[in-house]
Amino acid sequence: MDKTNRTEMHRSFLIEGLPEPLTRASAHIQIFDNYITETRLRIRSVRDPETAGWTRILQQRFPANEGDLSTLKFSDIYLNEAEHAQFETFEGTEIRKNRYFHEFDRRTFAFDVYLGKLWGLNIARVEFQSAEELEQFEPPPFAVVEITNDPFFLGEVLVTKSFEDVREEVSKLTDHIAKENLSDE
């Protein structure tokens, strides 16, 4: 299977924190995403804290269909140290996060705990093999609000934001949901 070009179907949710039994001390990977301004490219550096090993990837990603962020196309080029060094000039517009994996209701979730200026932002993501699975999936109890199709939560947008910006966006989302729930009653 060619893992350098792939399509990923997913749904994403804001969460308050890591669900039990996960803790910040649980096994995880560290992700450093550097976005190349005004492109669909990022340099992703992944560190495994257990081995101190690094994986570096030049990655392009974009929606498979305009206006639908639940299905993304990815192209990956794995870089060695010398190749990565050539791209270091693009580093600086970085998002850092720790990613934890855990199975819930027979699905593996990725839980991202953001670091630095986005400290406090936590996102759960789950992938699907088919559009039917994606549509039928019931959000987990730890999900606060779904953000799958909200472009604000794309890395290339978040890289320019602070946690205060995130807080304002979340407030808009939750206010909108509260108003919808009131109108349904």
Per domain, the residue ranges of the chain are: 5-184
pLDDT for residue 3? 65
pLDDT for residue 180? 57
Homologous superfamily of domain range 5-184: Hypothetical Protein Pfu-838710-001 (2.40.320.10)
Q: Model's pTM, two decimal places?
A: 0.90
* Neighbour-count burial of 130, counting CB atoms closer than 10 A to its CB (0-12 exposed, 13-18 middle, 19+ buried): exposed
pLDDT for residue 1? 47
What would the pLDDT profile of 44-65 be if each residue is shown by its tens digit? 999 999 999 999 999 999 999 9
What whole-number distance in Å separates Cα of residue 56 and Cα of residue 87? 10
